[in-house]
A and B are shown apart, each in its own frame.
Chain A
Amino acid sequence: EIVLTQSPDTLSLSPGERATLSCRASQSVCSSCLAWFQQKPGQTLRLLIYDTSTRATGIPDRFSGSGSGTDFTLTITRLEPEDFAVYYCQQYDNLITFGQGTRLEIK
């Protein structure tokens, strides 16, 4: 099983700042096999990025994904108030597993 470890667990930033979230895999993941999701309280999960760097339909371009091998990153430039949420990564190279989540909170 591929274990995904996200860091940090909690990230405190202010609107307008840049957020960098990390997802590290216990073994190499194919470059088109990693996704990122957003979850807000009381709402369903929302796909942001798939295949490491492809934005899902309707996702603003302030969200971007990058990485390869075992290290992947979700970057949110110019944080908006609605971006404060929990973010999860998912790998689908070897079945499906998820990271433990990073909580992005307002500083």
Chain B
Amino acid sequence: EAQLVDSGGGLVQPGGSLRLSCAASGFNFDNYAISWVRQAPGRRLEWVAGISDSGHSTYYADSVKGRFTISRDNYNNKLSLQMNSLGVEDTAVYYCAKGTGRYCSGHRCYPFDSWGQGSLVTVSS
């Protein structure tokens, strides 16, 4: 059974940086796309960043483009999200999520069949 364990959340000041990690187990990690999805208080789920099985293709929401970097280590079954220039609008619970496919084909993507428990990121002075 696939398992994802998020970590790295915490309190950071506006303009600061934070790095989230997601440890995966129970499936062939390098066969699936993985994403970060966040949920800010009172707002809907937002797909923030995604990465293909090989790591060659990445996707970023406009709201984080240029500030966040998604990466993966297929040897150690680990996903990361480097978040820079954080603003209060980035306050949210961040989930890593496993896609059912290897990558988005054009704009056609995939559902998520396993999710981490979530990591709370709070941006506040």
Are A90 and B112 closer than 8 Å at their CB atoms?
yes
Q: How many residues of B contact A (CB 8 A)?
A: 24
Are A35 and B111 closer than 8 Å at their CB atoms?
yes
Are B44 and A98 closer than 8 Å at their CB atoms?
yes
Are A98 and B108 closer than 8 Å at their CB atoms?
no
Are A92 and B44 closer than 8 Å at their CB atoms?
no
User: Which chain B residues border A50 with CB–CB below 8 Å?
Assistant: 100, 111, 113
Q: Is the interface of A mostly helix, strand, loop or mixed?
A: loop
Are A33 and B100 closer than 8 Å at their CB atoms?
no
Choose from A47, A51, A56, A98 the contact partner of B45 (Cβ within 8 Å). A98
Q: How many residues of A contact B (CB 8 A)?
A: 23
Render B54-87 as a binary contact track against A, CB cut-off 8 A, 1 for contact: 0000010000000000000000000000000000
Closest to B46 in A: A98
Choose from A47, A94, A95, A101 the contact partner of B112 (Cβ within 8 Å). A47
User: Which chain B residues border A47 with CB–CB below 8 Å?
Assistant: 111-114
Q: Given A44-B115, A45-B115, decide whether A95 and B109 contact each other with a Cβ distance below 8 A.
A: yes
Chain A residues with CB under 8 Å of chain B are 30, 33, 35, 37, 44-47, 50-51, 56, 88, 90, 92-101
Interchain residue pairs A-B with the least CB separation, the first 8: A35-B111, A98-B45, A92-B109, A96-B47, A45-B115, A50-B111, A100-B44, A44-B115
Q: A37-B112, A47-B111, A96-B47 are in contact. List 7 more A-B contacts (CB 8 A).
A: A45-B95, A56-B113, A90-B111, A94-B107, A95-B109, A98-B46, A98-B47
